[in-house]
């Protein structure tokens, strides 16, 4: 516990400045994060999610790829994605070309029951797309994402310094007491302290996992250029004859992969895209257990011969990233869990706002006078 006045003032300065620097961005993240908690439910209400029932006999993915050729003649299919909560729908991501940026693609949905085309939507379009881009990248792409990661780290320092300041100011008082008979400043001060300690663990977890999430693209790119390249290095480049024979249908590739990876297909990347190589399907399966359903189990398939090239385990840094995602999104414990997540998010907004109010009312005044008072004369 901090006892020296000099140390206390230093930590107060750390808390003040790290909070001031990061608060605006954390506030944006909290406000935009609120609707994102209920993304799936909002999509259901607004009709963005399509209802299809009885997923039994499934048409081939290849027939959907063929249909894309008719629907979007100039587009290339880059990725197949199956949402585990909607296995009856196959989502095909298409772009202007195979190597076009995936985030600029259009998502086309097909029924896995009868192969019907259900609709298409540009990625990042609509109100939820707007909110997501603001939350994830501040409309500034990867630099915006990394900047938010830095701001989250600054906010983590603010939280830790806040904990260090908590003890000296709340000594000799009951936990979470809010003194309403000492004026508004004291009331905001106590509310800020109480909320900070109540929300501490949740805010720490969500902030820290948010930082990890901002590294998602660089980490995946690192895996591609390091481990994945090593894995496919022994698979020789294709001859002209092999290329002329054309791609193995992705359904066959999925069947081959299932023989080495029991589980559900989560997404598959077509050869020639920025996530794969020029000659491999990259298929990612997920397990059926609560934890394994969050981890990717990749299989690399030669897209021309159909042979399984490798079925590696993902490295620790990718697994850390994947396990941090549910802890950031709060999407792993049902609707009631999401409601709790939203309440804690609202609490964090109040925490940030109370900090701003405290700073605004005290600006220009001596820190010594304002902050030593609770130490000198505890209520």
Interacting positions 198-237 with other proteins (CB under 8 A): 198-202, 205
- Of the ranges 33-41, 47-55, 179-187, 279-287, which one interacts with other proteins (CB under 8 A)? 179-187
Site string for other proteins, 53-92 (x = CB under 8 A): ----------------------------------------
For other proteins, the closer of residues 133 and 192 by Cβ is 192
CB-based burial of residue 335 (10 Å sphere; 0-12 exposed, 13-18 middle, 19+ buried)? exposed
334 binds other proteins (CB under 8 A): yes
328 binds other proteins (CB under 8 A): no
321 binds other proteins (CB under 8 A): no
Q: CA of 48: how far to CAs of 31, 38, 102, 121, 341, in Å?
A: 22, 13, 20, 9, 23
Among 326, 329, 357, 370, binds other proteins (CB under 8 A): 326
Q: CA of 245: how far to CAs of 40, 63, 69, 241, in Å?
A: 42, 19, 19, 6
Sign, CA torsion 207/209/212/214 = negative
Among 74, 85, 174, 366, binds other proteins (CB under 8 A): 174
Task: State the Rg of the chain over Cα.
Answer: 26
Closest distance to other proteins from the beta carbon of 33 (Å): 15
What whole-number distance in Å separates Cα of residue 215 and Cα of residue 32? 20
Cβ contact 269:254 at 8 Å: no
376 binds other proteins (CB under 8 A): no
Cβ contact 286:264 at 8 Å: yes
Tokens 């930590």 correspond to what residue?
11
Greatest distance between any 2 Cα atoms in the chain: 87
167 binds other proteins (CB under 8 A): yes
**Is 128 in a helix, a strand, or coil?**
helix
175 binds other proteins (CB under 8 A): yes
Closest distance to other proteins from the beta carbon of 354 (Å): 10
| Number of CB atoms found within 10 A of residue 322's CB | 18
Closest distance to other proteins from the beta carbon of 34 (Å): 14
CB-based burial of residue 360 (10 Å sphere; 0-12 exposed, 13-18 middle, 19+ buried)? exposed
Cβ contact 33:180 at 8 Å: no
308 binds other proteins (CB under 8 A): no
- Of the ranges 18-26, 73-81, 175-183, 258-266, which one interacts with other proteins (CB under 8 A)? 175-183
Cβ contact 59:42 at 8 Å: no
Among 337, 361, 365, 368, binds other proteins (CB under 8 A): 337
Residue 93 sits at the vertex; the CA angle it makes with 88 and 95, to the nearest 5 degrees, is: 160
194 binds other proteins (CB under 8 A): yes
Interacting positions 286-305 with other proteins (CB under 8 A): 289-291, 294
Among 94, 191, 247, 358, binds other proteins (CB under 8 A): 191
Closest distance to other proteins from the beta carbon of 174 (Å): 5
360 binds other proteins (CB under 8 A): no
- Note the residues at the interface with other proteins (CB under 8 A): 1, 166-167, 170-182, 187, 191, 194-195, 197-202, 205, 289-291, 294, 323, 326-327, 332-334, 336-337, 340-341, 343-344, 347, 350, 378-379
């Amino acid at each position: 516990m901090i006892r020296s006045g000099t140390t206390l003032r230093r930590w107060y300065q750390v808390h003040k400045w790290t909070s001031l620097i990061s608060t605006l961005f954390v506030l944006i993240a909290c406000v935009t994060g609120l609707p994102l908690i209920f993304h799936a439910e909002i999509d259901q209400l607004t009709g963005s999610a399509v209802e299809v029932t009885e997923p039994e006999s499934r048409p081939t993915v290849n027939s959907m790829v063929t249909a894309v050729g008719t629907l979007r003649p100039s587009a290339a299919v880059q990725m197949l994605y199956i949402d585990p909560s909607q296995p009856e729908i196959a989502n095909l991501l298409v772009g202007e070309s195979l190597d076009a940026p995936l985030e600029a693609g259009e998502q086309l949905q097909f029924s896995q029951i009868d192969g019907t085309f259900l609709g298409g939507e540009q990625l990042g379009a609509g109100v939820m797309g707007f909110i997501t881009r603001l939350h994830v990248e501040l409309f500034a792409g990867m630099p915006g994402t990394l900047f938010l990661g830095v701001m989250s780290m600054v906010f983590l320092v603010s939280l830790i310094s806040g904990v260090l300041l908590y003890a000296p100011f709340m000594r000799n008082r009951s936990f979470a007491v809010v003194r309403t008979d000492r004026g508004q400043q004291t009331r905001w001060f106590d509310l800020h302290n109480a909320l900070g300690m109540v929300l501490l663990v949740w805010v720490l977890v969500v902030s820290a996992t948010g930082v990890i999430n901002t590294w998602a693209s660089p980490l995946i790119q690192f895996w591609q250029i390091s481990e994945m390249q090593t894995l496919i290095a022994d698979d020789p480049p294709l001859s002209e004859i092999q290329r002329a024979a054309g791609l193995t249908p992705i359904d066959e590739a999925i069947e081959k992969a299932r023989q080495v990876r029991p589980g559900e297909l989560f997404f598959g990347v077509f050869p020639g895209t920025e996530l794969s190589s020029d000659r491999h399907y990259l298929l990612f399966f997920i397990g059926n257990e609560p934890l394994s359903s969050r981890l990717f189990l990749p299989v690399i398939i030669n897209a021309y011969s159909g042979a399984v090239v490798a079925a590696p385990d993902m490295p620790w840094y990718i697994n850390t990233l994947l396990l941090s995602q549910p802890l950031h999104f709060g999407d792993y414990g049902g609707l009631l869990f999401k409601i709790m997540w939203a309440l804690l998010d609202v609490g964090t907004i109040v925490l940030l706002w109370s900090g701003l109010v405290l700073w605004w009312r005290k600006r220009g005044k001596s820190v010594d006078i304002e902050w030593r008072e609770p130490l000198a004369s505890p209520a």
